[in-house]
């Protein structure tokens, strides 16, 4: 499972990535989780199973869905979970999207 996070510069999601990795490890979930800035996201889409967007770039959701061509789910991260850096909840969101729930 490959989970890609994207924000304006890839910096604000880095702590969230760390929290998500810790949550995945504690649950025995094997996955790759990484973050990039919105200028780099297009070169990473093909390596991802899901793309989650930071709330500050949620306006790009439809554009990135088109660029993903329906191959992967693209969705904004819940602002509450993002703001609280709740890695467990964001991981749950990613897994649900991958499963098509």
Task: Retrieve residue 44's tokens.
Answer: 């990473």
Establish whether 85 is a catalytic residue. no
Q: Can you name the residues that pair with 74 across neighbouring β-strands? A: 51
Domain coverage including residue 42: 2-99
Pairing outcome for strands 50-53 and 32-37: unpaired
pLDDT value of residue 8? 84
Q: Which pTM was predicted? A: 0.93
Task: Identify the weakest region by mean pLDDT among 5-19, 35-49, 56-70, 78-92.
Answer: 5-19
Q: How far apart are CA 13 and CA 62, in angstroms?
A: 20
CATH code for the domain in which residue 76 is found: 3.40.50.2300
Residues across the chain: 101
> Can you tell me the mean pLDDT for 41-69?
95
Q: What's the order of all strands across the beta sheet hosting 50-53?
A: 32-37, 2-7, 50-53, 74-76
Catalytic residue among 6, 7, 31, 85: 7
User: Structurally, how many domains does the chain consist of?
Assistant: 1
């Amino acid at each position: 499972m490959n989970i890609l996070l994207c924000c304006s510069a890839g910096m604000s999601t880095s702590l969230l990535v760390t929290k998500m990795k810790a949550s995945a490890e504690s649950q025995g979930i094997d996955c790759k989780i990484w973050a990039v800035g919105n200028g780099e996201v297009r070169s990473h889409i093909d390596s991802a199973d899901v793309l989650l967007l930071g709330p500050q770039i949620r306006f790009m959701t439809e554009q990135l869905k088109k660029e993903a061509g329906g191959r992967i789910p693209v969705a904004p991260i819940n602002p509450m979970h993002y703001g609280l850096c709740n890695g467990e909840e964001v991981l749950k969101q990613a897994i649900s999207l991958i499963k098509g729930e």
